[in-house]
A and B are shown apart, each in its own frame.
Chain A
Amino acid sequence: MNELAFEGHLISEEPYYEPAGSEIDIFEAAWRKGLPLLLKGPTGCGKTRFMEYMAWRLKRPLITVSCHDDLTASDLVGRYLVKGGETVWVDGPLAQAVRAGAICYLDEIVEARKDTMVVIHPLADDRRVLPMEKRGVLLTAGPEFCLAVSYNPGYQSVLKDLKQSTRQRFVALEFDYPPAALEARIVATEAGIDEALANTLVRFAHMTRKLKGNGLEEGASTRLLVHAGKLIACGIAPAEACASAIAQALTDEPEMLVAINELSASLF
């Protein structure tokens, strides 16, 4: 059940990624020096795509773990299972990544339980080891292994904040929605629509981002724009595509839904 073929985690085709700054160089430098990375930024702005791109570039397998509040340390490190009357140790994804010299990407790290986060501490400093308490062994990471975590500082919840002891171990890369022209190019390429339409979608996204804090928790992400663009490319009317792919994804509040739909109706 836990068997992962690492070849499957190797990314063979170049993922589409448009750099917004020097993030590629910084990532590469940190990787060479064995430093762990922290990717900050709102949802859907390209963090995961960046990881895929870097994995491809560095030719390392990428193991992604989406963190949730039931994620325990054993879920990451591994556990004993009973098979045919015997107990068998099975590595968790983090241990697998360490053994394979892969890139381990813990997505939305703040969602994990606080005690879970602590197991990555020895891996994230100069020791670069993963203690496997239940087996009584230390797993040492090779030079190719890379730990990266992502985190959305926008939540602003006291509960969902990264502890200093965790965050001060990482090289941080800040991500944000790309500048308008770049974002339009990304949306046009990803969704397969023309630039003019992509520009309008980006303008719509800017409108919703202005609503952040005025009734919306987050504005429309680049990912949502791509979704809407794909629907439009399939022949759905732009206003309808925005309603389904963007407005409904942003909020359930009826008044806000109407307002967002009116905004998109005004643009297209």
Chain B
Amino acid sequence: MNAPLPVHPESYSPKDFKSELKPIWCPGCGDFGVLQAVYRSLAAIGRAPHDIAFISGIGCSSRIPGYTTAYGFNTVHGRALPIAQGIKIANPDLLVLAAGGDGDGFSIGGGHLPHAIRRNTDLTYIVMDNQIYGLTKGQLSPTSPKGLPTVTSTEGSLEDPVNPLLYVLAYGAPFVAQGTPADMAGLAAMIEEGIRYPGFAFINVQSPCVTFGQPEWQVKQHRATMKPLASLGHDPKDRLRAMDLAQAYGKELYTGVLYRNPEPPATYEALVHQRQQVLGRDAPRRQDVLNAFIQK
């Protein structure tokens, strides 16, 4: 039911997706690696920039659409997913990416995530998880570790962090992965795989903030401690094992695909199309719908 994306490999190079706008992220920011991985994955997919829509919320990482040549919409805080879903449903042939930070995705926009998952709209959601609000200068974010001192938790956070991996797996996300800019090849391959997956793909990227993040949890430490799931023999079809691994969020850095539903469920846009086909000419006219509301 879910039509695969048309693929034209080698038609585009990563440079074709790079805009003239220069990133203003702090030097050393993990988001530079994510952007590079996005360029690589889009080149591998081979769709033209005008066939791609990149939607984001607000925050440092949400500037990312502007650095690509695709259609972009830097929306309002926490609202990347509703807008991305609307764009996909209205334009099912568009390749739709959504992106943002952990605050945008799990706090301000936290209410939208389960609904995007249960609708299974075919889009790829990349969260650049830096465990801090960086743009506003270092406040506690939903994924900040317990005990972290920040400008809003001077004596250390009292709250347990949100576990993004467990959260999306529990809501039934059919594709869940985690990456880091410490492994560029792995990250680019993972984003490409997420885009190719015919359904909602969630990719959590541990993307450290060099300015307000934890000095002991930067890309160098990722490089030294990451555990690629492929090397551990993890079977991404095993959802329960994926949930088990996800519980180590914040303690172990597992990278790769945690879960890939081998039988992708129907996407929302496919079901909408099917409903339109079934109703056909019997669907109520626009005028009748309005009249029903105003009880004419």
On whether the two chains bind one another, the answer is no
Question: Contact residues of A with B, CB < 8 Å?
Answer: none
Question: Contact residues of B with A, CB < 8 Å?
Answer: none
